[in-house]
Copies of this chain bind each other. A is one copy, B any other.
Amino acid sequence: MYRFFLQSPPIGNTITISGADASHIRLSLRMKPGEEVIFTREGVDYLSKIAEITPTEVVAHIIKTEPVSSEPALNLTLFFALPKSDKAEAIIQKCTELGVKEFVPFLTKRCVALPKGSKTERWQRIAEAAAKQSGRGVIPKVSDVLRFDEMLTRLPEFDPAFFCNENGGERLSLPAGTKKAALITGAEGGFELSEAERIVTAGAKSFTLGARILRCETAPIAAAAILLHLSGDI
């Protein structure tokens, strides 16, 4: 069944949408009153029957309300140093499918310069599309690109915070009952030693992904898959 994320909560038993999703239902999917769709907002699925389709709006009535069963128990935030070209898109798309809850791109000394103009909106759309396609209950949030210092100030929110350190560390393991964790990965050139030290000083724990050198887009995908496996979500 088709799934759409709601930007505002239902009013009583009724859901009214406009904009891109309404056009998609009317023009691309050519749906008709009586057909069923799922609207999702903040981890809740609203199974609904379309009541009316106008050129600007789709109105539907809720048949059944239930919590989304597909959200991982582990609340995982990925801090990733900004890579070249469209690798950020691949990271956001695939880690959204796996179950990451928030993305925080940040800058390191070895990152190439900030892309001209913010890409946050584009990345947020990629997260939304991947959330729809994979049946997520929430759209992961994509943060604006943070400076290295700003990124560090967010790390104390997380325990554990796992730092993918090319200089080595322990294998990934997750304490039983962990509800919230962060994962920190580098861009193409990795981190300067001073940056790595500051990440560890901020409370993150170095880990290794083994003896092979992973590309900067492969490492977060692999590490997220392993952490969500360790939490029982995959």
Contact = CB atoms under 8 A, between A and B. Distances in A.
A14 interface: no
CB-CB nearest 6 A-B residue pairs: A222-B225, A70-B211, A210-B234, A134-B212, A226-B229, A225-B225
B234 A171 contact: yes
Interface of A: 69-70, 72, 93-94, 97-99, 133-136, 171-172, 209-215, 218, 221-223, 225-226, 228-229, 232-234
B210 A72 contact: yes
Contact of A97 (B134, B215, B225): B215
A228 B211 contact: no
Nearest to A232: B171
Contact of A218 (B209, B211, B221): B221
A172 B221 CA distance: 17
Nearest to A211: B70
A218 B85 CA distance: 19
A228 B172 CA distance: 12
A218 B218 CA distance: 10
Nearest to A69: B211
Contact of A229 (B72, B172, B221): B172
A97 B211 contact: no
Nearest to A95: B218
Given A94-B218, A97-B218, A225 B226 contact: yes
Contact of A214 (B98, B171, B211): B98
Contacts of A233: 210-211
B210 A99 contact: yes
Given A218-B94, A222-B225, A225-B221, A99 B212 contact: yes
B226 A98 contact: no
Given A171-B229, A229-B171, A234-B171, A133 B222 contact: no
